[in-house]
Structure 1
Amino acid sequence: MNVLKQHQQSTVFTLLELKKSQREIHRITGIDRKTIRRYMAIFAARAPTAANSPAPATIGSKDTDQTPPLPRPPAFQAALTKACNFDFARSLCEPHRQWIEEQVRLQRNAQAIYQDLVDQYVFAASYESVKRFVRALRHIDPEQFDRLEFLPAE
């Protein structure tokens, strides 16, 4: 499936608003006519919903007090906060925390810990939950180094 980049999509939609034909859009942009046909269907599906929407039209309105919506934060920040704030209370591994911590101290990997949990404690949760739990337990601060400062040739 051919997916156009955002600037190409807006170009195609603009040309469709100007009632250009598929061939003419192909000549202008170099985009395949089958792809243009697919975007024509998307454009046609959006057009009736925009015309029948109960919200007042903002294009060409004289009201300049409208502020644009605030930009959304980047997605990686949300993932970063999730990684830093692991919630042990919601993990199904929490009842076995002490045993898992001992296994982590023995440098055992998450797969072996999971297999032993299933064999010894009839653990019903998934391997992924054990892997996340072990990863959070292994998170340690980097080793701190002292900076030694000397004068040259001292």
Structure 2
Amino acid sequence: MNVLKPHQQSTVFTLLELNKSQREIHRITGIDRKTIRRYTAIFAARATASANSPIPATIGLDPSDQTPPLPRPPAFQAAPAETHSFDFARSLCEPHRKWIEEQVRLQRNAQAIYQDLVDEFSFAASYESVKRFVRALRHIDPAQFDRLDFLPGE
């Protein structure tokens, strides 16, 4: 979500306090009318909240007053993973590690491994998880090289 800079917010709130229309505010500031509409709703909510509150409200001065939207829930609920002492997520490919390692030794690509996992083991995770798992298995340390120490022209 795009948020206006504090000086732009205060300008919009000041113009709203002066009962300027959204078109006028757009003409004066150059801010999109949809954005002004959103800040009009914020302004109205703060105005009604301050009407019920004995404490005077400072409208538009603190951008931290806005609450961020709630995070989206996961697309699907996976089976509960075993509890581990480490912080990173356990791959759904882990139960098939030995079979996948054998396939990697046979130089099979991740796509073929994934297709066989789905066919033979009713694998429910995505191809991307298999691809990441295979990439980690294929990780090879870089070849050793010797550093040459001599002066130029030696």
Q: TM-score, normalised by structure 2?
A: 0.56
Q: Tell me the CA shift for residue 133 of structure 1.
A: 1.8
* Kept after mapping to 2: 8 A contact 1:103/1:113: yes
What amino acid sits opposite 1:36 in the alignment? I
Which residue of 2 is the match for residue 40 of structure 1? 40
Q: Which residue of 2 aligns with 1:6?
A: 4
Choose which of 2, 11, 17 in structure 1 pairs with 2:13. 17
Q: Cα offset for 1:27?
A: 3.4
Residue 151 and residue 14 in structure 1: after superposition, are their counterparts in 2 closer, same or farther (change >3 A)? closer
2:26·2:33 contact (CA, 8 Å) conserved in 1?
yes
Q: Which runs of 5+ in 1 are unaligned?
A: 60-84
Distance, in Å, in 1 between the alignment partners of 2:40 and 2:31 is 13
Larger relative contact order (Cα-Cα within 8 Å, sequence gap ≥ 6): 2
Structure with the larger helix share: 1
Aligned residue pair count = 121
Give the aligned partner of residue 149 of structure 2: 149
Q: What is the alpha-carbon root mean square deviation over aligned residues?
A: 3.4
Unaligned runs of 5+ in 2: 59-86
Q: What amino acid is the match of 1:114?
A: Y
Deviation by residue 1:49-95 (Cα, 9 ceiling, x = unmatched): 57768xx8897xxxxxxxxxxxxxxxxxxxxxxxxx754xx323212
Output the TM-score relative to the length of structure 1: 0.56
Q: CA 1:153 to 1:16, structure 2 compared with 1: closer, same or farther past 3 Å?
A: closer
Give how far 1:148 is off.
Answer: 1.0
